[in-house]
Amino acid sequence: MPDLHDLSPKQAYALLQETPHSVLIDIRSSMEYLFVGHPVGSVHIAWIDEPDWVENPDFVAEIQRLLENRFKGCNPKQDASVVLICRSGKRSREAAAALLEAGFQQVMHVDEGFEGERDENHHRGTVGGWRFHGLPWEQC
């Protein structure tokens, strides 16, 4: 089984700009994606979501369908670069393990996530993460 590749937010952004068959998947809950914000161009497929906070049993299948529809004529499990992002990089590791176990070959995750770890005041977004590094993001 291939290894998971950790990327900094800036490395992930560069890979997505330079790699034709790549996609950024935001795996946070629907509420996080909508109200906290998300990277511009990301696709939302929740790994764990409200109201029950259980793992999405269709997660791997949903990603497979997304890649098949987006990258016609290639083998998504072998040819597509899948970059996962969550809040701080923990859930994306779990979700990535499921994709690797399902046979996906190029799976990466943003090690700082979208908001990064909490600072000494328990605030996110001040010591790391996609937003902290000034990368493109939006919110509803």
SS3 101: helix
- Cis geometry, peptide bond prior to residue 51 (ω within 30 degrees of 0): yes
pTM of the full structure: 0.94
Q: Is residue 98 part of a domain?
A: yes
Backbone phi, psi, residue 54, to 5°: -115, 160
Number of domains, the chain: 1
Rounded CA gap, 82 and 22, in Å?
A: 6
Alpha carbon distances (Å) from 10 to 25, 120, 125, 129: 16, 24, 15, 9
Cα–Cα distance, 39 to 100 (Å, whole number): 23
pLDDT tens, N- to C-terminus, the chain (140 residues): 677 789 999 999 999 999 999 999 999 999 999 999 999 999 999 999 988 899 999 999 999 999 999 998 889 899 999 999 999 989 999 999 999 999 999 999 999 999 988 888 888 888 899 999 999 999 98
Structure tokens at 14: 């560069």
- Domain holding 91: CATH number? 3.40.250.10
Please give the residue range of the domain that contains residue 21: 5-132
